[in-house]
Amino acid sequence: MPKIRIKLRGFDHKSLDASAAKIVETVRRTGAQVAGPVPLPTRVRRFTVLRGPFKHKDSREHFELRTHNRLVDISDPNRKTIESLQSLDLPTGVEIEMKILGGGR
């Protein structure tokens, strides 16, 4: 039985949740089963930068970059499901990775 796994990645969790909700709504309209969106662990990258390179070496600035992840599984997709997912218009800043699992015998 084929299954589609969609991974969503982005820096803004609100636009990520909105696009995940849009995907779930579109898939449910086509009659396929949906599991998710499942929030995966957030990747936090922290950077420390010296404020002044010469005199104030102990004065530092901290920055962090958070990457939020969501996972959506679609069971029993049909042709209409795949076509509607390809024509879906999602907000900018959201990276989408789609995989088709279990297609062959």
CB neighbours of residue 68 within 10 Å: 20
What is the strand order of the sheet 3-10 is part of? 33-50, 60-75, 3-10, 94-101
Which structural domain range is residue 58 located in?
Answer: 3-101
Q: Which is nearest to 90 in space by CA: 36, 35, 10?
A: 10
Condensed to tens digits (0 to 9), the pLDDT of residues 56-73 reads 778 889 999 999 999 999
Q: Each residue of 14-53: pLDDT tens digit?
A: 999 999 999 899 888 888 888 889 999 999 999 998 887 7
Count of structural domains, the chain: 1
Using a 10 angstrom Cβ sphere, with 0-12 exposed, 13-18 middle and 19 or more buried, the burial of residue 7 is: middle
Half-sphere exposure of 34 (CA within 13 A, CB side): 19
**Residue 31 Cα distances to 7, 21, 26, angstroms:** 21, 16, 9
- Identify the pLDDT of residue 45: 96
pLDDT band at 103, cuts 50/70/90? Answer: low
CATH number at residue 77: 3.30.70.600
Which residues does 85 contact at the CB level (< 8 Å), separation at least 6?
4, 6, 23, 26, 27, 98
In terms of pTM, does the model score above 0.85?
no
